[in-house]
Amino acid sequence: MEWARLDLPNTEIVVLHGRTGPDEIPDMLVAADCLLITSRREGSPCILQEALACHTPVVSVDVGDAPERLAGVKNTIIAAPRAESLAAALVQLIRRPLRCFANVDHLSFDYLAKRLETLYEEICEHPTSLC
């Protein structure tokens, strides 16, 4: 992201290529000033959900459910998939070192387990309504 380094020359960019252990990700996200997501195809990026849980500001392209997940969350930006747009968004968030605070209760294991339990109960009570 040479564009971002023009305005923030001391910026260190760490690229995750899928080789980072899952136990390392939360520490990296908490330490990061911002997460940049540039995927071209995603359904629901797990790293985005992890970043929100760690209160890490996010710059993302319009991919998968990123726009819905980031809607109304301060210190997050959906940017155009162009280098200058992504760099401008990164600079904006890094210059304003604030964390993002999103309600991520719906991503917790307890919440998801309760939702599944409710779904199974509804299926057992009304098995023919699903056909």
pLDDT at 17: 79
Look at residue 109 and tell me whether its pLDDT is greater than 60: yes
pTM over 0.75: no
Interval 82-107 mean pLDDT: 81
* Ramachandran class of 66: left when φ > 0, alpha when ψ lies in -120 to 50, beta otherwise: alpha
Confidence label for 106 from pLDDT (cuts 50, 70 and 90): low
Averaged pLDDT score across all residues of the chain:
84
**Average pLDDT of the segment spanning 30-42:** 91
Sign of the dihedral through C-alpha 25, 26, 28, 29: positive
Mean pLDDT of 9-37: 88
